[in-house]
Amino acid sequence: MDKLFLVSFLGLLITAYAVAGNMLYDNFNILEELVEDPFWISERGGKVLVNVDSFGAVGDGVSDDTEAFKKAWNTSCSTPKSAFLVPPGRRYIVNATKFQGPCADRLVVQIDGTIVAPDEPNDWDPNLSRLWLDFSKQKGVVFQGNGVIDGSGSKWWATSCKKNKSNALTIDSSSFIKVKGLTIQNSQQMNFVISRCDSVRVFEVQVSCPGDSPNTDGIHITGSTNVILQDSKIGTGDDCISIVNGSSAIKMKRIYCGPGHGVSIGSLRKDNSNAIVTKVVLDTALLRETKNGVRIKTWQAVQISQIMYWNISGTTKSKEAMKFACSDTTPCSNIVLSNMYLEKKDGTAETYCNSAQGFGTGIVHPSADCLNSHDKGYILIDHNENNAELAERNGDRIIHTEL
């Protein structure tokens, strides 16, 4: 089906539902609200290069390059139009470090080499637990390059889950951030965390950890708005993507996920009370042997609404290929599924719903009829008969979804 058609169809299907069933879809304007291409800075040339090697970094995979990175950061951060450069072909060992902003305008963090965390848990400074490379209070910064951020997590994976493990790359309290091309791997815990940010665009990023490494989420989004993740390949031991605690307007497009637990929305922990996750789109994803495919899970007082999934296919390991487990006190609402085909090898895939409301259109396999909650009196319309005609009548409602 033509994409524009599908989108306009969804739009009017929602209208039709609203009219017919008196449902509250008034606020379902996610596609318009997502910032498609705002202030992304694209810089070429004219940069002041701040090479970590000029500050004493050795990059031999043995020496401690932490101090050199900190010095280079201080210079780079205070110099307008600078590029903090990690040159290619070397391995830099760097301890847990806070790269704080705000910085001068137009900073580029160019990572072409490999940055490696020390691998010995006993050497980790307990005062810097939970974070390894932590960039905070940045504005308009571009992170790019063909380099690798390697958390050296293997010894940590074997240690108790009570130990404070670190996330590899964190971007915190920042806005207008672009991340392109990097590889993030082998984190002690989560690989790439976007927290308390606004307007972040991530593309062509690769995340990898072994399928049996514990709690190694790929990309974790918390307390953030206007985030676009696209054309990225994620294979980990936990969620490929997890979206929690007060995040909204999150769009994911062309995502390859596996191994891992799939794409997860909502808190899996009990510590986020009164959080709302809303306006999330997963558009075109291929899942390979993920534990679940797509999953929503909430605890009390976590509100989830306006979640759209479309064109998602692949294989799952558990039979709950789609799982919408919402709390009875704050049900999930407006979950829309379109063109989904998820299957478990033995053909037993199913959809689990609890207090989740929404609908499917086009092919939805396994069937998600359990979203059509029986206690709310929805009136179903027959899309197959009506969609072409309705689409024609409502040609002016077309919304463009391309990024």
Ligand X SMILES: *[C@@H]1O[C@H](CO)[C@@H](O)[C@H](O)[C@H]1NC(C)=O
Q: Which residues bind ligand X (CB under 6 A)?
A: 3, 64, 66-67, 70-71, 74, 95, 118, 123, 125-127, 129, 163-164, 222-223, 245-246, 271-272, 275, 284, 286, 311, 313
User: Choosing from 220, 261, 365, 383, which is the catalytic residue?
Assistant: 261
For 21, 203, 294, 381, 383, the CA distances from 388, given in Å and listed in that order, are 20, 35, 29, 13, 9
The structure tokens 């137009």 sit at 106
Kindly state the smallest distance separating residue 328's Cβ from ligand X, in Å: 22
What is the rounded distance in angstroms from the CA atom of residue 330 to the CA atom of residue 90?
A: 51
Phi (first) and psi of residue 55, to 5 degrees: -110, 20
Residue 261 among the catalytic residues: yes
Kindly state the smallest distance separating residue 18's Cβ from ligand X, in Å: 26
User: Which amino acid belongs to residue 93?
Assistant: I
Please tell me whether residue 69 adopts helix, strand or coil conformation: helix
Nearer to ligand X, 3 or 319 (CB): 3
Kindly state the smallest distance separating residue 172's Cβ from ligand X, in Å: 10
The contacts of residue 263 (CB under 8 Å, 6+ apart) are: 239, 240, 241, 242, 252, 255, 257, 282, 285, 287, 293, 294, 295
Kindly state the smallest distance separating residue 105's Cβ from ligand X, in Å: 18
Nearer to ligand X, 91 or 146 (CB): 91
Nearer to ligand X, 144 or 242 (CB): 242
- Counting every residue written for the chain, the total comes to 403
Nearer to ligand X, 179 or 282 (CB): 282
What is the rounded distance in angstroms from the CA atom of residue 349 to the CA atom of residue 34?
A: 32
| Rounded (to 5) percent helix, strand, coil in the chain | 15, 40, 40
What is the rounded distance in angstroms from the CA atom of residue 325 to the CA atom of residue 332?
A: 8
Q: Write out the H or E segment, with its range, that includes residue 10.
A: helix 3-21
Nearer to ligand X, 1 or 19 (CB): 1
Phi (first) and psi of residue 322, to 5 degrees: -130, 130
Kindly state the smallest distance separating residue 256's Cβ from ligand X, in Å: 9
Strand partners, 98: 134
Nearer to ligand X, 215 or 357 (CB): 215
Kindly state the smallest distance separating residue 19's Cβ from ligand X, in Å: 28
CA nearest to 101, candidates 66, 65, 68, 143: 143
Helix intervals (H) in 28-104: 30-33, 66-78
Residues with catalytic roles: 261
